[in-house]
Structure 1
Amino acid sequence: MKRSIARRLALMFALAAMLITSVSATLLRCSLKQSLNEQMQNELILRHSVLDPVLAKYDSPAFWVGLRQKLDGLTPADERVRYWVVVDDPAYSYGGQMPDGQDWSRRPDGFSTLEIADRDRPMELLVKTIPALGSRPELRFIVGLDSTPFMKTLDHFTRILILISALGVVLVALLGYWIARFGLGPVRRLSRQANSLPPGDSKQRLDTDALPGELQELAMSFNGALARQEAAWCQLEGFNANVAHELRTPLTNLIGQTQVALAHGRDVGELQDLLQSNLEELERLGGIVNDMLFLAGAESGQRATELSDVSLYEEASKTVEYLEPVLHDKQLSVVISGDMRARIDRRLFHRSLANLLQNAARYAVPASTITVSLVSQGMQVEVSVSNAGEPIDGVHLERLFERFYRADAARARSDAHHGLGLSIVRAVASMHGGRVFARSQDGFNTFGFSLISQAVR
């Protein structure tokens, strides 16, 4: 059975109502019980206030004969109210033996209870001591009141409270379910709207204007997801087109050269030249495939694992030395500033820095200087390469690290490089927990990346 928000809300409403009604009912019952106890005590006090002066005023045994008759008349047939006069002299005693057989002469004055065998409820008592007068000794006057009628009232009230509380909880649960269903109507409409979005049209969005404020944020998040999906699809389509373009050139060259070679007879030297040319194109294809596999691994969350503690200045110097022929062709010099030790993947560091240097050498002003800067910021290392060259529009700066992206729409010099160098730099930075950046100002273009090192000093 699927979980239902409406049912969960109804259950929560019911639990809240149960808690509230339980507390309210308990307080009401306690209040009524206290009120009934006060009524019983007030009635006992009233009867004592009427009879105590009479008992205290007379000391003649002859008078007590008439007093007994008066007490008999005040005692109802159901003995809801009873009287006892406890004294050692039988001439002044009344009411007979106490039901519990205790020595009531030692019982303290005040309110107490008395359990009677043939009654479900105890009898409430008020005991008072009347001082001796003349020949009459000291006596104890007890008035008892049956609590059964009062407790029946309390029991009846308790049953009514339980019934009302149960009905209230059920009613709250039903109303809560209806309210939840009604309140969740915009959610259902939003769901129907989402399901009605036509497939294939990536520009469709949910209408957020008619939604309540609580759902607008959800709808906007969903629209944001649609926008990101649209951007991903556009990027994927562009990527597919770029891959097709990059692979088409070497494949076209291979097919064309091979067809020409097969169309006419060739000697061994010409065939060797053909194979050499084909090998170069195949190596270019292999490079593209390897770079794509590397980027795919980085984008899937692969991290740098072969870490070692190295001097970045020394490693950067090795990279510059490796690219010396490329730099010499354009009469470029390289200056390395800064040094620190970091725990990084040396192979990936060389690869990313080499890509930045090749990119700088490709677009730098001939006979100029390229600057490699190494800057440490806590656990982060920033590596940047700056060269003098034509300024780059800010629109292109943010996209130059995308795969196959070039600022020149005509894909100039596409045969020399396939547009994955800066993408690999971004992948290396990502594998080290870093980022990439690009700046173009004051006649200098700067490309770089950061690395999060496990130990930097």
Structure 2
Amino acid sequence: MRLNQRASITLRLTVFFASASTVVLLLLGYLIAGAVEQHFVEQDMDVLTGKLDLTRHALLKVRSDQDLISIPQQLDDSLVGRHGLAVVVVAPDGQTMFATSGAEFPQALLERKIQADALHPVVWKTARNTPFRGIATLAETGIKDASPAIVAVATDISHHEHFMNSFRVTLWSFVIVAALLTGFLGWVAVRRGLAPLQAIRQKAEGITAHKLDARLTLDWVPAELADLVDTLNAMLSRLEESFRRLSDFSSDLAHELRTPVSNLLTQTQVTLSRTRTPDEYRDVLVSNVEEFERLSRMIADMLFIAKADEGQIVPSREKMELEQVAADLIDFYRLIADEKGIALSSSGNGQIMGDSLMIRRAISNLLSNAIRHTESGGSVSVAIEPYDASRVSIVVTNSGATIPAIHLPRLFDRFYRADPSRHWEGTHSGLGLAIVKSIVQAHGGEVSVQSAAGNTSFIMVIPRVD
């Protein structure tokens, strides 16, 4: 039976148990019925072969035609008290020498040409619908050069068939009841076995966006479901972390967008509060352009990160000399660094196959971040060196306050800042490090940060891709 694909596990297993038990019971019933039937056949054959041997023995004592006359009486005497037993003896000339009262044998059993296989039992019914099982064979006489006679012996098997019919009814009734009982017990067992799944479902129903910290307990879970519960708990942990980050990101994004929008709105309202000169309007528009540029950069950065998260950023591959890239960026930031009294330097060299614009942007973001968080008199360095046989590391290090270890894993999150009370300065959008992470991952690399003893190092590890 084919079940609907949406059928419950309970129904599926119940049907499976009932079907399997029914098949087993049917096979068992068939074997038992066959064994009982074979027992009756063997029992009948013992009686028939005994009478057949007795008749053959009597025929061997016949020495003349006169002796044949006494054969019927001898056979009648041997069959006294044997109810339901039929015997027939057919002479070589086809005449019936002896036959019990009411004996009805099929003609095929008495044909001389089939006597080679005569001991194979044959079952038939008489004109009165009485079932018989019989055998026949050739029997030699003591008369010299005489053809053998045909001896057939049969027994009434009515009581056997009656017993077998009752036995089959009882047996198949038991099989049906046992199959139904097994199905019911299977249903009970499956319901109890699946109870932990129901408990897991009920527990999961209570987990909402406001209760993502809830976890499934392993105390009452069977060993087979322990891995499932562990997987669900791990999924809940990931969902909780993702939801928290999404919530933080939404809050930070709203906060970051509120500032330039508020500035634009306030400045525009003040400007429109009275008539102003063309120069004053021009100054307001210039200020608005700066805010619009900040919003534009933030939106562009967000789109870049969103595409990177979806795997839509596919960097081009070109040979890059990292030493030259670092030198060019050091020259670009040197004026800013000199104004703050910060020393810039680079060392090492290496080659990779990557997207030149993306790699430059990642190193530029790290340099900009390092200069912004380095006090006057500090230093910022870029070190390029082999990481292993197939990768190159780019390490941007700046001196300054050590970042607490608790903040290090989240520095590459969007809008995350180690000091929540500190707002992003100037035109900085708070997405620089997140963009660095997206670029490095798009190149198949990894990024990390270390901070200790007054030095903070951002490390990009990028495959060479020869």
- Short-chain TM bin: 0.7 to 0.9
Give secondary structure in 2 for the equivalent of 1:142: strand
Once the 2 structures are TM-superposed, how far is the Cα of residue 309 of structure 1 from its aligned partner?
3.4
User: What is the deviation of 1:88?
Assistant: 2.3
User: 1:21 is aligned with what amino acid?
Assistant: L
Question: Is the contact made by 1:338 and 1:374 (CA closer than 8 Å) also made in structure 2?
Answer: yes
Query: Which one-letter code corresponds to 2:394 in the other structure?
Result: S
CA contact (8 A) 2:59 2:139 kept: no
> What is the aligned partner in structure 2 of residue 395 from structure 1?
406
The 3 A distance-change label for structure 1 pair 227 and 385 is: same
1:7 and 2:11 correspond: yes
Once the two structures are TM-superposed, the CA of residue 283 in structure 1 deviates from its matched residue by 0.7
Are residue 352 (structure 1) and residue 359 (structure 2) matched? no
Counterpart pick for 1:68 among 50, 72, 75? 72
227-236 or 360-369, larger mean C-alpha shift? 360-369
2:253 to 238, 243, 253: 243
Deviation at 1:137, TM superposition (A): 5.2
- The partner residue of 1:289 within 296, 299, 321 is 299
Amino acid at match of 2:172: I
Q: Which amino acid aligns with 2:318?
A: V
Does residue 1:99 correspond to 2:111, yes or no? Answer: no
Assess if the C-alpha contact under 8 Å between 1:312 and 1:374 holds in 2: no
Q: Is the 8 A contact 1:82 1:144 kept in 2?
A: yes
Give the Cα separation in 2 of the matches to 1:88 and 1:171: 62
Q: Distance in 2 between matches of 1:257 and 1:4?
A: 65
Q: Is the Cα–Cα contact under 8 Å of residues 254 and 278 in structure 1 kept in the other structure?
A: yes
Partner of 2:187: 177
Q: What pairs with 1:20-419 in structure 2 (closer than 5 Å)?
A: 20-72=24-76, 80-88=84-92, 93-95=97-99, 99-100=107-108, 103-104=111-112, 107-108=115-116, 111-114=119-122, 116=124, 118=126, 123-127=133-137, 129-130=139-140, 132-134=142-144, 138-147=148-157, 149-195=159-205, 200-206=210-216, 208-214=218-224, 218-219=228-229, 221-255=231-265, 257-258=267-268, 268-269=278-279, 271-299=281-309, 301-305=310-314, 307-313=315-321, 317-318=324-325, 321=328, 324-330=331-337, 331-335=343-347, 337-341=349-353, 345-363=355-373, 366=378, 368-373=380-385, 384-390=394-400, 391-411=402-422, 414-419=425-430
Letter in 2 for 1:438: V
Inter-CA distance 133–326: structure 2 relative to 1 (3 Å threshold): same
Please report how far the alpha carbon of residue 399 of structure 1 lies from its aligned counterpart in structure 2 after TM superposition: 0.8
Instruction: Report the CA distance between 1:354 and its aligned residue.
Output: 3.0
Task: Spell out, residue by residue over 1:227-268, the C-alpha distance to the aligned partner (whole angstroms, 9 max, x if none).
Answer: 443333322332233223323333444455556656788655
User: Alpha-carbon deviation of 1:423?
Assistant: 1.0
How far apart, in 1, do the equivalents of 2:241 and 2:228 lie? 20
CA–CA separation in structure 2 for the residues paired with 1:377 and 1:128? 98
1:436 counterpart (435, 443, 447): 447
Task: Give TM-score, length-normalised by structure 1.
Answer: 0.79
Displacement after TM superposition at 1:71 (Å): 2.9
Structure-1 separation of matches of 2:36 and 2:158: 15
| Residue identity in the other structure for 2:410 | R
Counterpart secondary structure, 2:369: helix
Q: Matches of 1:176 and 1:90 in 2, distance apart? A: 66
Q: In 2, are the aligned partners of 1:61 and 1:91 still within 8 Å (CA)?
A: no
Deviating more after overlay: 91-100 vs 168-177: 91-100
Q: Provide the rounded CA distance (Å) in 1 between the counterparts of 2:105 and 2:169.
A: 37
Contact 1:360–1:370 under 8 Å retained in 2: no
Read off the aligned partner of 2:61 and give its amino acid letter.
K
User: TM-score normalized by structure 2?
Assistant: 0.78
Q: Compute the RMSD of aligned alpha carbons.
A: 4.0
Identify if the C-alpha distance between structure 1 residues 90 and 269 changes in structure 2 by more than 3 Å, giving closer, same or farther: closer
- Paired residue secondary structure (1:304): coil
Letter of the 1:339 counterpart? Q
Aligned partners of 1:309 and 1:223: how far apart in 2? 40
Structure 1 residues 80 and 304: alpha-carbon distance in aligned structure 2, compared to 1, 3 A threshold: farther
Is 2:455 the partner of 1:446?
no
Deviates more, 1:164-173 or 1:361-370: 361-370
Q: What is the Cα deviation at residue 284 of structure 1?
A: 0.9
CA distance in 2, matches of 1:114, 1:339: 97
Mapped partners of 1:319, 1:265: distance in 2: 51
Hey, what's the Cα distance between the residues in 2 that align with 1:273 and 1:92? 142
